[in-house]
C-alpha cells in the first residue's frame, strides 16, 4: 500500500506484520509444543510445557521406533508412496503425451473422463473397492493400497501433464519424427526430460495424500507388518494417550520427514499443492 | 516422409503412418486408463448400483429398488443420524467458508503488498497443509485436553482461567472446535490461490484507482474482489468437495461416532459406520444403506459442482 510514497501509510505495513506474526504464532505454537515436548520426560511436560527441556530424553522415539514397530511402518509407507508415485508419473506422462498429440473426439472424451476424477473423491467408491480387494485376495496386504493410490493420483497427473505437453513447442517432436525416431523414443529421450518441472508438481501434489492416507489402510484392516505410518500413529495414540512423550514422539516421527522436505523446497510444495486448483 | 509440414501428416496420403501413430497413442493410453477405470471410475458407479440392493455380508445381492433410500429417509434408526450428519457437515462447511477462506483472503491481500519477509510468512501459513490430518487432529486433541491440555493451562496462566473449557467434550463446541482446527490446517491453500489471483490484477488498474483518490478499502471491495470472482468460485468448490468428504479430522478428534453423542458426526463418519464398522443399534455393516449414503453424498457434490459450473459459465458469458 504505497510503500514507496512516504505519505503516512507506514503504519499499515506495521499492521500487516502484526496480523501475520499473530497467525504465525498460532501456527507455530502447536508444532513447537509437539517437537519440544517429545524430548522431555513426562513429568517435565506438565511442569512447564512450553519451555526448552532441562532434561532431554529420546525414550519416546526409541519406543516408537523399536517397541511400536515404526521402523516397519516407515518402510511400508516409503515403499507404497514411492511405487505409487513412480507408477503415477510413468503412466500419467505416457497417457498425457498421447492425449496431447492425438487430437480427436475420442482422445478429448478420454481426457474429460480423466479430469472428471478431479472433482469426485475416490472414497465414494469405497464399498466396491473393498469388495474388489477382497476378491483379489489382497485384503490386509500393503499391495492393496498401490492400485488405489495410482488410480487416485492419475486425474491430476494427466491434467497437469497434458496441459504442460500441449504448451511445448511442436517443432521439437516433429523434427525428431522426421528423423525417424519412434514415439517411444521421443517420449523417453525428449518428453520426459522436458516435463520434469510438471512431474515435480504432480509428485508433490500426490505425495501428501498418499503418505497421509488413513482411510484405505483403516478400511482394508492391514495386517500388523503391512501397516503404514499414518495408521501406526492412530494405533499408538489410542494405546498411549496419557504417555505424552511417546505420543508426541510418534506424531513428530510421522510429521518430520515431510516437514523437512517442505522446508527444503517450500516453493515447489506450495506451487504443487496449489497447481491443480488454480489452473482449473 | 521427408517433408517437414508435420501438421499435414494425416491429410497427405500417409494413411498407414497415421494408423501406426494411432496404435501408439492407444498403447500409451491404455495402462493409465485401465487402472483409473478399474479402481476409480468403475467402483464409483458400481457402489451406486449397490444402493439398489440389500443382503447380509460383503455383497448385497437382493434387488430392492429404492428401498434402501426409503429406509435411509424414513426409518428413524437411519434417518436421524443421517440428517444429523448432513446438518453437521453443512455447519462444518459454513465454518470453513467463514473462517478458513476469509482468513485466506485476508492473508493473501496482505501478502500481495510488497514488503520484506513475506516469503517467511507464506511458508509458515502453508506449513500445516503439509501435515497429516491425523497428526494435527491428535496434536490439537492433546492441546485442548481439559485436564492437562496446554490451552487451558495457558488461559489460566494469563488469568483467563474462567475461559477454560472441555473444548471437545461439550456437544455445543466440539463440531465448531474441530472445524476451526481443520481451518487452521488448510488456510494456506485458499491463501495461495487468492494470492495467485491477486497477482494477475494489473498494477495500473490499482494505481489508477489510487490516483483517483480511492481508499485501500474501496479498492479491495470494488476492484480486487470482483476480479477475484473466478478464484472465489474455485476456492468454494474445492472447500465444498473437501468438507463433504472430511473424515480424518473427526476420526482423530472425536472418533468414528463424532463424540460427544454424535455432535461432531459428519457424512463420511456416518458412511464409515453404516458401510464398514456397523451402526448402532444395528451393529452390523449394511453395505446397501452405506452405498445409499455414498450416493447421496455424490449427488450433493454433483449439485455443488453444477452450481459452480453454471455460475462460472454465466460469468464468462457476461464478460
Instruction: Please indicate, yes or no, whether residues B112 and B12 belong to a single structural domain of this protein.
Output: no
Element (DSSP H or E) covering residue A163: helix A145-167
Strands (E), B122-271: none
Poorest-pLDDT segment among A266-280, B181-195, B247-261: A266-280
CB contact under 8 A, B251 and A214: yes
Which DSSP letter does residue A68 get? T
With bands split at pLDDT 50, 70 and 90, how would you rate the model's confidence at A125?
very high
With bands split at pLDDT 50, 70 and 90, how would you rate the model's confidence at B11?
very low
CB contact under 8 A, A183 and B268: no
Residue A14 is assigned to a structural domain of this protein:
no
From the list B25, B59, B130, which residue is nearest A258 (CB)? B130
Q: Which of residues 186-225 of A touch B (CB under 8 A)?
A: 187, 208, 211-212, 214-215, 218-219
Instruction: Please indicate, yes or no, whether residues B121 and B174 belong to a single structural domain of this protein.
Output: yes
Residue B61 is assigned to a structural domain of this protein:
no
Q: What is the pLDDT of residues B47-99, one digit of tens each?
A: 899 999 887 767 777 888 898 999 899 999 899 999 999 999 999 999 999 99
Q: What is the pLDDT of residues A243-279, one digit of tens each?
A: 888 889 989 988 998 899 999 988 888 877 776 554 4
Chain A residue with CA closest to B150: the answer is: A49
Residue A221 is assigned to a structural domain of this protein:
yes
CB contact B104 to A (< 8 Å): no
Q: B123 to chain A, minimum CA–CA distance in Å?
A: 7
* Domain count of the fold of chain B: 2
CB contact A130 to B (< 8 Å): yes
Residue B62 is assigned to a structural domain of this protein:
no
Domain that holds residue B45: 6-50
Chain B residue with CA closest to A212: the answer is: B132
With bands split at pLDDT 50, 70 and 90, how would you rate the model's confidence at B318?
low
| Interface probe, candidates A18, A20, A34, A211, chain B, greatest B C-beta count within 10 A | A20
CB contact B131 to A (< 8 Å): yes
pLDDT the model gives residue A275: 65
A&B contacts, CB < 8 Å: 267
Residue A47 is assigned to a structural domain of this protein:
no
Residue A167 is assigned to a structural domain of this protein:
yes
Residue A218 is assigned to a structural domain of this protein:
yes
Residue B208 is assigned to a structural domain of this protein:
yes
From the list A19, A119, A152, which residue is nearest B241 (CB)? A119
Instruction: Please indicate, yes or no, whether residues B137 and B227 belong to a single structural domain of this protein.
Output: yes
**Cβ atoms within 10 Å of A52's Cβ, excluding its own:** 9
Task: State the Cα–Cα distance between residues B170 and B144, nearest whole angstrom.
Answer: 12
Residues in B closer than 8 angstroms to A101, CB to CB, are: 21, 25
pLDDT the model gives residue A266: 85
Instruction: Please indicate, yes or no, whether residues B19 and B88 belong to a single structural domain of this protein.
Output: no
Residue A5 is assigned to a structural domain of this protein:
no
pLDDT the model gives residue A144: 94
What is the interface pTM, i.e. ipTM, of the complex?
0.87
Q: Is the pLDDT of residue A228 over 80?
A: yes
Domain that holds residue A150: 60-279
Query: Taking residues A13-19, what's their average pLDDT?
Result: 91
Q: A263 to chain B, minimum CA–CA distance in Å?
A: 8
Residue A116 has phi, psi (to 5 degrees) of -60, -30
Query: What's CA B128's distance to the chain center, in Å?
Result: 16
Instruction: Please indicate, yes or no, whether residues B173 and B238 belong to a single structural domain of this protein.
Output: yes
pLDDT the model gives residue B266: 95
With bands split at pLDDT 50, 70 and 90, how would you rate the model's confidence at B6?
very low
Residue A253 is assigned to a structural domain of this protein:
yes
Instruction: Please indicate, yes or no, whether residues B88 and B17 belong to a single structural domain of this protein.
Output: no
**Cβ atoms within 10 Å of B155's Cβ, excluding its own:** 16
Mean residue pLDDT across chain B:
88
Residues in B closer than 8 angstroms to A128, CB to CB, are: 42-44, 46-47, 50
Q: What is the pLDDT of residues A127-164, one digit of tens each?
A: 999 999 999 999 889 999 999 999 999 999 999 999 99
Q: Is the pLDDT of residue B206 over 90?
A: no
Chain A residue with CA closest to B107: the answer is: A20
From the list B32, B43, B103, which residue is nearest A158 (CB)? B32
Q: Which of B6, B35, A255 is nearest to A247 (CA)?
A: A255
Share of chain A above pLDDT 90, in %: 46
Q: Which of residues 56-115 of A touch B (CB under 8 A)?
A: 87, 91-92, 94-95, 97-99, 101-102, 107, 110, 113-114
Spatial contact of A96 and A191, defined as CB atoms under 8 Å apart: no
Q: A9 to chain B, minimum CA–CA distance in Å?
A: 11
Q: What is the pLDDT of residues B235-252, one digit of tens each?
A: 999 999 999 999 999 999
| Interface probe, candidates B32, B216, B218, chain A, greatest A C-beta count within 10 A | B32
Instruction: Please indicate, yes or no, whether residues B181 and B296 belong to a single structural domain of this protein.
Output: yes
Task: List own/partner pairs for A14-18 with CB under 8 A and 24 or more apart.
Answer: A16/B110, A16/B113, A16/B115, A17/B115, A17/B117
With bands split at pLDDT 50, 70 and 90, how would you rate the model's confidence at A88?
very high
pLDDT the model gives residue B12: 47
Residue A68 is assigned to a structural domain of this protein:
yes
* Domain count of the fold of chain A: 1
CB contact under 8 A, A178 and B127: no
Locus of grid cell 489452473: A279
Instruction: Please indicate, yes or no, whether residues B29 and B139 belong to a single structural domain of this protein.
Output: no
- Which residues, in sequence order, are CB contacts of B34 under 8 Å at separation 6+? none
Q: Which of residues 61-100 of B touch A (CB under 8 A)?
A: none
pLDDT the model gives residue A11: 55
Q: Is the pLDDT of residue A6 over 80?
A: no
Instruction: Please indicate, yes or no, whether residues B21 and B97 belong to a single structural domain of this protein.
Output: no
Query: Taking residues A8-19, what's their average pLDDT?
Result: 77
Q: What is the pLDDT of residues A90-107, one digit of tens each?
A: 999 999 999 998 889 999
Query: Taking residues A36-65, what's their average pLDDT?
Result: 84
Q: Is the pLDDT of residue A119 over 50?
A: yes
Residues in A closer than 8 angstroms to B135, CB to CB, are: 233, 251, 254-255
B193 CB burial (10 A radius; 0-12, 13-18, 19+):
buried
pLDDT the model gives residue B137: 93
CB contact B209 to A (< 8 Å): no
CB contact A158 to B (< 8 Å): yes
Q: Is the pLDDT of residue A52 over 80?
A: yes
Task: State the Cα–Cα distance between residues B128 and B187, nearest whole angstrom.
Answer: 9
Q: Could you tell me the end-to-end alpha-carbon distance of chain A, in angstroms, rounded to an integer?
A: 30
Residues in A closer than 8 angstroms to B107, CB to CB, are: 20, 23
Instruction: Please indicate, yes or no, whether residues B14 and B86 belong to a single structural domain of this protein.
Output: no
A53 CB burial (10 A radius; 0-12, 13-18, 19+):
middle
CB contact under 8 A, A274 and B139: no
- Which residues, in sequence order, are CB contacts of B131 under 8 Å at separation 6+? A212, A255, A258, A259, B185
pLDDT the model gives residue B177: 96
From the list B25, B35, B47, which residue is nearest A128 (CB)? B47
With bands split at pLDDT 50, 70 and 90, how would you rate the model's confidence at A4?
very low
Instruction: Please indicate, yes or no, whether residues B193 and B127 belong to a single structural domain of this protein.
Output: yes
Query: Taking residues A183-188, what's their average pLDDT?
Result: 90
Q: Which of A227, A231, A224, A263 is nearest to A250 (CA)?
A: A231
Residues in B closer than 8 angstroms to A268, CB to CB, are: none
From the list B124, B192, B268, which residue is nearest A274 (CB)? B192
Residue B1 is assigned to a structural domain of this protein:
no
Alpha-carbon torsion, ordered A39, A45, A47, A52, to 10 deg: 40
Q: A197 to chain B, minimum CA–CA distance in Å?
A: 19
Give me the CATH number covering residue B245: 1.10.3720.10
Give me the CATH number covering residue A145: 1.10.3720.10
With bands split at pLDDT 50, 70 and 90, how would you rate the model's confidence at B14?
low
Share of chain A above pLDDT 70, in %: 94
Amino acid at each position: 500500500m504505497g510503500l514507496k510514497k512516504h505519505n503516512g501509510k507506514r503504519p499499515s505495513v506495521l499492521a500487516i506484520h502484526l496480523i501475520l506474526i499473530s497467525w504465525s504464532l498460532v501456527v507455530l505454537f502447536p508444532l513447537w509444543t509437539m517437537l519440544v515436548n517429545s524430548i522431555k520426560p513426562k513429568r517435565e511436560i506438565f511442569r512447564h510445557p512450553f519451555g526448552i527441556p532441562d532434561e532431554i530424553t529420546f525414550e519416546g522415539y526409541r519406543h516408537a521406533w523399536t517397541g511400536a514397530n515404526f521402523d516397519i511402518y516407515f518402510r511400508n509407507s516409503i515403499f507404497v508412496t514411492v511405487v505409487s508415485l513412480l507408477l503415477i508419473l510413468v503412466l500419467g506422462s505416457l497417457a498425457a503425451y498421447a492425449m496431447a498429440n492425438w487430437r480427436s473426439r475420442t482422445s478429448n472424451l478420454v481426457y474429460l473422463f480423466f479430469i472428471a476424477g478431479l472433482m469426485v473423491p475416490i472414497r465414494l467408491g469405497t464399498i466396491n473397492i473393498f469388495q474388489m480387494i477382497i476378491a483379489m485376495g489382497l485384503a490386509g496386504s500393503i499391495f492393496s493400497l498401490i492400485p488405489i493410490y495410482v488410480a487416485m493420483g492419475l486425474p491430476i497427473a494427466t491434467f497437469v501433464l497434458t496441459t504442460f505437453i500441449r504448451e511445448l513447442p511442436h517443432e521439437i517432436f516433429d523434427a525428431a519424427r522426421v528423423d525417424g525416431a519412434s514415439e517411444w523414443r521421443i517420449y523417453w529421450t525428449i518428453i520426459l526430460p522436458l516435463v520434469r518441472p510438471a512431474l515435480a508438481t504432480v509428485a508433490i501434489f500426490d505425495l501428501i495424500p498418499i503418505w497421509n492416507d488413513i482411510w484405505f489402510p483403516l478400511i482394508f484392516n492391514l495386517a500388523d507388518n503391512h501397516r503404514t505410518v499414518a495408521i501406526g500413529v492412530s494405533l499408538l495414540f489410542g494405546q498411549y494417550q496419557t504417555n505424552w512423550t511417546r505420543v508426541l514422539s510418534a506424531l513428530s516421527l510421522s510429521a518430520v520427514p515431510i516437514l523437512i522436505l517442505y522446508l527444503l523446497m517450500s516453493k515447489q510444495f506450495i506451487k504443487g499443492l496449489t497447481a491443480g486448483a488454480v489452473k482449473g | 516422409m521427408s517433408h517437414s509440414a508435420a501438421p499435414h501428416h494425416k491429410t497427405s496420403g500417409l494413411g498407414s503412418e497415421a494408423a501406426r501413430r494411432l496404435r501408439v497413442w492407444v498403447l500409451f493410453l491404455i495402462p493409465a486408463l485401465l487402472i483409473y477405470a478399474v479402481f476409480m471410475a468403475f467402483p464409483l458407479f458400481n457402489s451406486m448400483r449397490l444402493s439398489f440392493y440389500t443382503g447380509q455380508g460383503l455383497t448385497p445381492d437382493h434387488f430392492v429398488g429404492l428401498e434402501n433410500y426409503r429406509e435411509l429417509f424414513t426409518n428413524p434408526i437411519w434417518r436421524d443420524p443421517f440428517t444429523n450428519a448432513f446438518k453437521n457437515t453443512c455447519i462444518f462447511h459454513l465454518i470453513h467458508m467463514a473462517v478458513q477462506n476469509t482468513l485466506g483472503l485476508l492473508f493473501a491481500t496482505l501478502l500481495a503488498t510488497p514488503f520484506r519477509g513475506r516469503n517467511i510468512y507464506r511458508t509458515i501459513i502453508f506449513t500445516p497443509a503439509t501435515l497429516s490430518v491425523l497428526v494435527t487432529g491428535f496434536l490439537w486433541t492433546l492441546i485442548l485436553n481439559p485436564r492437562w491440555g496446554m490451552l487451558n493451562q495457558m488461559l489460566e496462566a494469563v488469568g483467563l482461567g474462567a475461559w477454560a473449557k472441555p473444548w471437545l467434550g461439550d456437544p455445543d463446541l466440539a463440531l465448531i472446535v474441530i472445524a476451526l482446527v481443520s481451518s487452521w490446517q488448510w488456510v494456506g491453500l485458499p491463501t495461495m490461490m487468492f494470492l495467485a489471483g491477486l497477482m494477475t490484477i494489473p498494477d495500473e488498474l490499482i494505481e489508477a484507482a489510487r490516483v483517483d483518490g480511492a481508499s485501500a478499502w474501496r479498492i479491495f471491495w470494488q476492484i480486487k474482489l470482483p476480479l477475484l470472482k473466478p478464484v472465489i468460485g474455485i476456492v468454494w468448490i474445492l472447500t465444498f468437495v473437501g468438507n463433504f468428504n472430511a473424515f480424518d479430522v473427526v476420526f482423530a478428534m472425536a472418533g468414528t461416532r463424532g463424540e460427544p453423542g454424535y455432535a461432531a458426526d459428519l457424512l463420511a463418519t456416518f458412511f464409515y459406520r453404516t458401510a464398514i464398522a456397523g451402526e448402532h443399534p444395528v451393529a452390523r455393516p449394511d453395505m446397501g444403506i452405506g452405498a445409499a449414503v455414498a450416493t447421496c453424498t455424490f449427488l450433493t457434490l454433483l449439485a455443488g459442482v453444477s452450481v459452480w459450473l453454471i455460475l462460472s459459465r454465466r460469468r464468462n458469458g457476461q464478460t
